[in-house]
Structure 1
Amino acid sequence: MRAGSAGAQKFLNLSQIRFPIGAIASIGHRISGVLLLVSLPLLALALDRSLRSEPEFAAVRDLISEPWRVLLLVILVWAAAHHVLAGVRHLLMDIGVGSRLAQARTSAWAAILAAGIVALAAALRWLS
Structure 2
Amino acid sequence: MKKDRPVNLDISTISLPVTALVSITHRVSGLIMLGGVLVLLWMLDSSLASEQSFNELKQTLSHPIALLIVWGVLAALAYHTVAGIRHLIMDMGIGETLEGGRTGAKIVIALSAIAILAIGGFLLW
Q: Could you list the runs of 5+ residues in structure 1 that have no partner in the other structure? A: none
Q: Using a 3 Å threshold, how does the CA distance of structure 1 residues 61 and 116 change in structure 2: closer, same or farther?
A: farther
Equivalent position of 2:112 in the other structure: 115
Q: How many aligned positions are there?
A: 122
Q: Aligned partners of 1:115, 1:55: CA distance in 2, in Å?
A: 36
Superposition deviation, residue 35 in structure 1: 0.5
Secondary structure, counterpart of 2:117 in structure 1: helix
> Does 2:15 correspond to 1:18?
yes
> Does 2:95 correspond to 1:69?
no
Equivalent position of 2:78 in the other structure: 81
Superposition deviation, residue 127 in structure 1: 2.5
The alignment's TM-score, normalised by the length of structure 1, stands at 0.82
**One-letter amino acid of the counterpart of residue 63, structure 2:** E
The structure that is helix-richer by fraction is: 2
**One-letter amino acid of the counterpart of residue 34, structure 2:** L
**One-letter amino acid of the counterpart of residue 100, structure 2:** Q
Structure possessing the higher radius of gyration over alpha carbons: 1
Superposition deviation, residue 95 in structure 1: 2.8
Cα deviations by residue, 1:49-92 (Å, 9 ceiling, x for unpaired): 11234443332122122112211212111100111111111122
